[in-house]
Amino acid sequence: QANPFRHRICHVFSTSEEGDDSLSFEDFLDMLSVFSDAATSDVKSHYAFRIFDFDDDGTLDRKDLENLVNCLTGPGEESRLSSADMEQLIHNILEESDIDKDGTINLSEFQHVVSRSPDFARYKLSA
């Protein structure tokens, strides 16, 4: 209930034909296997990328990054970054991660950045 990505996690793992993001038992097992210690960094980073890709277009663009930061800082207006701080943070993220300089982060760029973070494999996006 406290995970700020709970709706995205359900969306990414749901195979419901109703489009309601509900999870079947098999979906739930798939989710647990991705979040387990046994899952590889590639599998974890693939699903993290999909969770962070709020518009499901296969890239992390400025809007996805803004949504990501807002999820991490909390729902209240008092915890939100100012427009200038948000713009600077997104600029810094893209500067560090956008290897081909197209203004978005694709899966391979995301996985490259994640590979430089030794803590990522131990990080758990618990549902």
pLDDT band at 123 (very low <50, low <70, confident <90, very high): low
If one counts every other C-beta atom within 10 angstroms of the C-beta of residue 100, the result is 10
CA gap 19, 96 in Å, rounded: 35
How many folded domains does the chain comprise? 1
Q: 42: domain range? A: 5-124
Which pLDDT score, from 0 to 100, does residue 78 have? 82
Which pLDDT score, from 0 to 100, does residue 127 have? 45
Which pLDDT score, from 0 to 100, does residue 121 have? 57
**pLDDT per residue over 86-117, tens digit each?**
999 999 999 999 999 999 999 999 999 998 88
**Among residues 22, 90, 103, 14, which one has the least CA distance to residue 51?**
14
pTM: 0.87
Residues with Cβ within 8 Å of 41's Cβ and at least 6 positions away in sequence, in order, are 114, 115, 120, 121
Which pLDDT score, from 0 to 100, does residue 126 have? 47
Q: How many CA atoms lie within 13 A of 81 on its CB side?
A: 17
Write the CATH number for 15: 1.10.238.10
